[in-house]
A and B are shown apart, each in its own frame.
Chain A
Amino acid sequence: MINLEQQQQDDTLHLNLQGDWTFDQTEEIRAALAAITPVVKHVAIQVEAVSHLDVTAAWLVYRQAQLWKQQGREVSFLHFPQEYLGYFERAANGEPPAPGIRQQALAGVTDPLHLLGRKVFHLLHLWRSLITFFGHSLEALFASLLSPHLFRVRSVLHHVFTTGVSAIPIVGLIACLISIVITYQGGGQLRDLGAEIYTVDMVVISVLRELGVLLTAIMVAGRSGSAFAAEIGLMKTNQEVDALRVMGSDPFLILVVPRLVALVIALPLLTILADIIALAAAALISSTILDISFVQFYTRVETTIEFRTFAAGIIKAPFFAVVIALIGCWQGMRVSGSSESLGKHTTQAVVDSIFLVLLLDALFSVLFYRLGF
């Protein structure tokens, strides 16, 4: 508990602090100090009888004293810990700090032109960095193709396993589900027109040309793109990448090329698997709700669907794989220092690679249309 004794002598108000002046008593201290309105010129603060005086409490007293000083009174401290006074005075008299990050961020909002300029330069820098990264990776890839002893087969196999084989269950499940959705939705509509057999065309074409490869690529971007960024980013924060460089190894050759090659192998295979599972699921659903038997389904696919429908889908897979692997590795390499940066770049890897996969898919659609493919 705190206790504040007031005593007026001539033109001096003696304040005698007693008890435990600690952090828990903030409220009481503030109330006790506010209750005092000195009418005389001098205030003497006496803390000799205090059993505990911690920094927060002492500072509250000091601040009140400063207020009285501003009102033209003279305040003297008796037995006040000298070290505390030193800290308080230096803290109160310091220069206001230079504008920091927060003010700088605010300045960006208040000056939109400046902000726009900075964003544009940042974007240009990003593209430059990505293209440089792409060039380095290609260089490393060709180097390893020219001298096969540089090519790390074990590493490639490891990444084929982690990005391909272990993704089989989730990719298969997604293919199955999307095929069920389309068959149900489309089949219901077409049956009303008496054209339920066209459900087969619709499902098979949409899955083979677009959905099979696209959904697989998005799934892999989420699973492996982020994993690449996180793995390489962690190595970057641990200075493992620097260690590789110092040993005279090329990080692109050791870290990027195996991931790139592995994904170029794994993604088309996963796509083929997704196509097969989606078609099987479509056949099953058609036979149960549309009365299209397996034989009918098979004959319909054989007679109306051409091989190039399948080819138009599968040919996109390696391109998607390159985009996902490059973006993942690039974002990983961009990680610097803090763990905050690691999280940021991992997220960015997924967002960027899914965006670029969709962009590339749109470009392919236009291209195939123009070519009549």
Chain B
Amino acid sequence: METLISIRQLVNQFGQQRVHDGLDLDIYRGEVLGIVGGSGSGKSVLLRTILGLNAPASGEIHFSGKELVTMPEEDFARLKRRWGVMFQKGALFSSLTVADNIQFPLREFSTLTADECRELMYVRLEMVGLEREVADKLPAQLSGGMVKRVALARALVLDPVVLFLDEPTSGLDPVSAEEFDRLIATLHGNLGLTVVMVTHDLDSLFSTCDRIAMLADRKIIVGSLRELLANPHPAIQGYFGGDRAKALLRES
């Protein structure tokens, strides 16, 4: 399998606290990778480091062969236009309508006309399963599930090669969360995206992810769900050994 992103010997440190210590991770093209770990294990820091929002103390991150940490700011910015990112709380621009939020990247980074941008915006709304009426609302008028869908539509609008999702289903009710998982699975199937998601939701982990990367002891243990379950590492057994996880495993 072709490696899209490879992280080598990553070290992240805040003051005395070392979050990642020599972390290695390969992300393959076209897979859905779930990043899990207990609270404070550095999942979000890892995601922020890949996205260039946090400069690592040392280590290398390669994206299709190009080194990101030392890459000049401009080149990195151009590269990142082909990445879709959905933040935990959506990060929709609060002063813009849904339509303007989704069109923002198109207006900024494409040569499409205003009409084309608007029609493509409606296509994205269709893709994430939202009504057209939503387009003229402000983010403050949307429910939690709708915010997530709009954020996903905005993340998809530049046809990203890779999609980063930070806790896509947190704060959603079980029905919406399941729908959202199905939506991501459908989009992944249709568009052939690489999806990297940080999640706490065991359901989405079991239903959508091809591989799971578990942060433990400032490093990463990666494998399919079966491989991880067979791993005797105490952190993994602790994470998947809970009653909820066991119940879900029995079901699947």
**A residues bordering B, Cβ < 8 Å?**
22-23, 26-27, 54-57, 59-60, 63, 81, 83-84, 86-88, 90-92, 94-95, 97-103, 337-341
Contacts and interface: CB of A to CB of B under 8 A. Distances in A.
B77 to A, nearest CB: 15
Nearest to B133: A97
A286 to B, nearest CB: 52
A97 B140 CA distance: 19
Given A23-B159, A63-B116, 9 more contacts: A55-B159, A55-B191, A88-B126, A91-B126, A97-B135, A100-B137, A102-B97, A103-B136, A340-B95
Contacts of B132: 94-95, 97
Contacts of B158: 23, 56
Given A56-B120, A56-B159, A87-B126, A101 B97 contact: yes
B127 interface: yes
Contacts of B97: 100-102
Nearest to B109: A23
A14 to B, nearest CB: 26
B94 A81 contact: no
Contacts of A22: 159
A340 B112 CA distance: 31
A338 B158 CA distance: 28
Interface of B: 82, 94-95, 97, 110-112, 116, 119-120, 122-123, 125-127, 132-133, 135-140, 156, 158-159, 186, 190-191
Contacts of B156: 55
Contacts of B139: 338
A60 B133 CA distance: 24
A91 B123 contact: yes
Q: Is the interface of A mostly helix, strand, loop or mixed?
A: helix
Contacts of A94: 122, 126, 132
Contacts of B123: 55, 59, 87-88, 91
Contacts of A95: 132
A103 B137 CA distance: 12
Contact of A101 (B112, B120, B137, B186): B137
Nearest to B128: A87
Contact of A54 (B94, B112, B133, B159): B159
A331 to B, nearest CB: 18
Nearest to A56: B159
B191 A101 contact: no
25 contacts: A23-B158, A55-B127, A55-B156, A56-B110, A56-B158, A59-B120, A84-B190, A87-B127, A90-B126, A91-B119, A91-B126, A94-B126, A98-B133, A98-B136, A100-B135, A100-B137, A101-B97, A101-B137, A102-B136, A337-B140, A338-B94, A338-B139, A339-B94, A340-B95, A340-B140
B136 A97 contact: yes
Contacts of B138: 101
Contacts of A98: 133, 136
B140 A63 contact: no
Contacts of A57: 159
Nearest to B98: A100
B95 to A, nearest CB: 7
A341 B95 CA distance: 11
A27 B125 CA distance: 24
A338 B120 CA distance: 28
Nearest to A94: B132
Contact of B190 (A23, A27, A83, A90): A83
Given A90-B126, A94-B132, A100-B137, A27 B111 contact: yes
A23 B110 contact: yes
A54 B123 CA distance: 13
A48 to B, nearest CB: 16
A338 B140 contact: yes
Contacts of B126: 86-88, 90-91, 94
Contact of A340 (B94, B110, B116, B135): B94
A97 B122 CA distance: 11
